[in-house]
Amino acid sequence: MVQRFSVVGGSPARIDGIEKVTGTAKYAADYTLPGMLYGKIKRSPHAYARVLSIDTSKAEALPGVKAVLTYADVPHVKHAGAPVPRTGSLKADQTILTDVARFVGDGIAAVTAVSEEIAEEALELIEVEYEILTPVLSVDAAQQTDAPEIHDTAANIITQPIIMKNGDMEQGFAEADYVFEAVYNTGRPVPCYMEPNACVCQFDQSGKLTIWSSTQGAFMVRGTLSEVLGIPLNKIQVIVEHMGGGFGAKQDLYQHEYVCALLAKKTGRPVKMEYTRKETFLASKTRHPVTVRLKQGVKKDGTVTAREALYLSNTGGYASHGPGVTAVGTIDLTSLYRCNETWDLEGRSVYTNVPMAGAFRGYGAVQGFFALDVQMDELAELLNMDPIEFRLKNAVGEGDISPSGHRLHGDAFADCLRRGAEEVAWVDKWQSPKTKSGRVRSGLGVGTEMHSSGAYPDIKEMSSAVVQLNQDGSVNLMTGVADLGTGAWTAMAQIAAEELGILLADIQVTAGDTDATPFDGGAYASRTTHIGGKATQKAAADLKRKLLTFAAEKLAVDVTELDLKNGRILINNTPSITLKELLKEEGNIPTPALIGEATHYAKVAYSFAAHFAEVDVDTETGQVTVKKVTAVHEIGKAINRIGVEGQIEGGIQQGIGHSLTEDFIMHPETGRPLNPSFVDYKMPLSMDMPPIETVILETQPDLGGPFGAKGVGEDPIIAIGPAIANAVYNAIGVRIRELPITPEKVLQALREKEA
Ligand code: SMO
């Protein structure tokens, strides 16, 4: 039966659209409270240094300065930047301020003053005496036996290595006709959210803390501040009205959130802190630069027989999501392409004295699938097979293992590959690089991925929602899900309206306030629509049951004869009065109040994608230009079509950046960041974007998702990297296994080929 939808699947305008385009939407730094002070953090200029002494007397004496904090003044609780339930992916190794700087930008002291200018001036007056240590700047150096231990862990590995073994490796490689091994490297892109990190903290007389913060996880901020500062959960209110992006990096806390709360407490006045753009580079969470050594055996008929990998990630000065990212990246290599379930995989996340890496859209999968997908391309060539045909031969499908260890249902991945190949006319268009010549050569490449919606089973994934009917027939939806600019709250409203059978305009979303909504873990792991959406759907269904029972009584019909659609009551499928008319009749105000509520516990679900990139490579300048991207995504069901397309296009834009131009670079000896600004760190802007053809497949709806919907947030950034790298190879016949693919690397590779 084809399900007909009224609100779901369309592209209604964002519920917050008008506020955003008129500039009235408030972001954390837009809050200004009476008597408010401004806070700033003094950051280490050294990559690795011990603080011998700090003299704050001059700063404290500066008129307008209200408080100064150093390591000696703050709780020394080690924290992970996130509370339970997220701690499995992190390690508690950070303190609020530090007496050992572990990267250039580590927070040493903080001040608050009546103006930002005075606070900045006061930072200069804080005198710090450092013992400068030799920084450990590469993963190789960090693993040497004589390397200093940045956090007292052997070989600077955060936790135990992640080891995945299955099958008989020796036999797997013995069965192969070819064994191929190569090393793949990814760069260090930065999330570059438009809204810099910011927060405002205020304590009331009862000791209750209110914090307006730019975070993907309001409940994570509440939980972490509670754990670290020792404040009960109900005495912390986190408000996030609007956000200008986070991309994963705003899911754990930053130093300013703790510091701001402590400064507000100490001064008894509200305090605002806002990062400069430079601070969003130094003190943010970059993607983990990863080296993947990957070896696979393959038979002449194209069957992969065994897979061996070492996944080495550089986590920087603190762990943040290093353990989680490394686990995801390593475990992902058990899937996407079959290898006879014969694998030997190891993941290590290593401390170095560079800015922290952490969660960033694509969370380990970007790096792992870059290596795997580029190598699949290399194997296809080795076998003289068409790259699509070879992929289809090994693509995971019905009954195959997924990274979570669960068996997959359906062949959605193959559907993506086939549909994309059709869209780009692969059979006619794809030609071996040997056929290419001339100064500018064009190439066509494919990249693929799969990604889970939510972090189950590593996290017991859940979300709750409350839906309340008002006396006039309008509805309030209380949801804890975060909307970091994705349109998630609009999607929640669509789901509630569809399930209830009322108009979208009659739903008001109450969100972004931990005092006003039930719990949700936050926006991570492409979970929001799939999990928060299902909780919303269930809560709406609960309300609808109660509402129809009430209506049946008023209309003196049996409840089984009733339904509600587009705000109108149907009796035996015949339109009757509207819900609003029913409620208007005297005495029909529901008593007790009609409230639906639900908690949804999610299971595993996977989305898939195949991206096809068409590029031009200028063999004289080394410039790579992406001419067109065709993106096929299997996501179960698009709740908001234009929102899904926006996610896909945005992911491709970020991915083009990571593939070609974006890399945050440290000085090789001092560890000092060389390009912490939008002048020297180049993202693709709208003018740089190629046309994007988006195909949304809904062939494999997930019963655990609302109306079958799965996640799409992270998927598009994962598939685009290998698509571009493979297209570059297809154009010039030289393999570049390292991101970003800069003109320098292209020219170097061409020169080596000629030599
Ligand atoms: S990088 Mo994602 O927010 O798990």
Confidence band, pLDDT 50/70/90 cuts, at residue 83: confident
User: Is 247's C-beta closer than 6 angstroms to any atom of ligand 1?
Assistant: no
Q: Residue 532 has what DSSP assignment?
A: I
User: Is 525's C-beta closer than 6 angstroms to any atom of ligand 1?
Assistant: yes
Model confidence pLDDT, tens digit, residues 636-652: 999 999 999 999 999 99
Q: What is the mean pLDDT of residues 552-566?
A: 96
Q: CA-to-CA distance for 285 and 275, rounded, in angstroms?
A: 13
- Residue 136: phi and psi, rounded to 5, are -100, 110
85 pLDDT above the threshold of 80: no
| CA dist list (Å): 4 to 109, 408, 501, 504, 638 | 59, 27, 12, 16, 13
Model confidence pLDDT, tens digit, residues 320-361: 999 999 999 999 999 999 999 999 999 999 999 999 999 999
Mean pLDDT for the chain?
96
Q: Which atom of ligand 1 is nearest to the CA of 251?
A: 3
User: Is 54's C-beta closer than 6 angstroms to any atom of ligand 1?
Assistant: no
| Residue 656 identity | I
1 pLDDT above the threshold of 50: no
278 pLDDT above the threshold of 70: yes
pLDDT at 588: 67
How many whole angstroms from 360 Cα to the centroid of ligand 1?
5
Asked whether the bond before 148 is cis by omega within 30 degrees of 0, the reply is no
Q: Which atom of ligand 1 is nearest to the CA of 216?
A: 3
User: Is 708's C-beta closer than 6 angstroms to any atom of ligand 1?
Assistant: no
476 pLDDT above the threshold of 50: yes
Q: 365 and 714 in contact (C-beta within 8 Å)?
A: yes
2 pLDDT above the threshold of 60: no
Q: Which atom of ligand 1 is nearest to the CA of 246?
A: 3
Q: What is the mean pLDDT of residues 507-532?
A: 97
Q: What is the pTM of this model?
A: 0.97
Pocket test for ligand 1, best of 325, 714, 717, 718 (most atoms within 8 A of CB): 714
Give domain 17-24+462-601's CATH number out of 3.40.1190.20, 3.40.120.10, 3.40.50.720, 3.30.365.10: 3.30.365.10
Q: 297 and 172 in contact (C-beta within 8 Å)?
A: yes
CATH top-level class of 369-451+605-754: alpha beta
User: Is 359's C-beta closer than 6 angstroms to any atom of ligand 1?
Assistant: yes
User: Is 524's C-beta closer than 6 angstroms to any atom of ligand 1?
Assistant: yes
Confidence band, pLDDT 50/70/90 cuts, at residue 49: very high
Q: What is the mean pLDDT of residues 151-158?
A: 94
How many whole angstroms from 363 Cα to the centroid of ligand 1?
6
Q: What is the mean pLDDT of residues 238-243?
A: 97
Q: What is the mean pLDDT of residues 749-754?
A: 92
Asked whether the domain spanning 369-451+605-754 has the same topology as the one spanning 31-133+194-245+250-282, the reply is no
Least confident interval from 85-94, 121-130, 417-426: 85-94
Model confidence pLDDT, tens digit, residues 351-391: 999 999 999 999 999 999 999 999 999 999 999 999 999 99
Model confidence pLDDT, tens digit, residues 581-599: 999 886 667 767 899 999 9
User: Is 248's C-beta closer than 6 angstroms to any atom of ligand 1?
Assistant: yes
4 CB-contact burial (10 Å; exposed 0-12 / middle 13-18 / buried 19+): exposed
- According to DSSP, the β-strands at 162-166 and 692-697 are unpaired
Structure tokens of 511? 């969100």
**For domain 31-133+194-245+250-282, which architecture applies?**
Alpha-Beta Complex (3.90)
Model confidence pLDDT, tens digit, residues 157-215: 998 899 999 999 999 999 999 999 999 999 999 999 999 999 999 999 999 999 999 99
Residue 133's closest CA among 654, 671, 642? 671
CA 211 to chain centre: 23
Mention every residue, 6+ apart, whose C-beta is less than 8 A from residue 43: 104, 105, 106, 107, 108, 279, 282, 283
Q: What is the DSSP string of 38-81?
A: EEEEEE-SSSSEEEEEEE-HHHHHSTTEEEEEEGGGS----B-S
Confidence band, pLDDT 50/70/90 cuts, at residue 4: confident
pLDDT at 84: 67
User: Is 606's C-beta closer than 6 angstroms to any atom of ligand 1?
Assistant: no
User: Is 251's C-beta closer than 6 angstroms to any atom of ligand 1?
Assistant: yes
User: Would you list the domain boundaries of the chain?
Assistant: 17-24+462-601, 31-133+194-245+250-282, 369-451+605-754
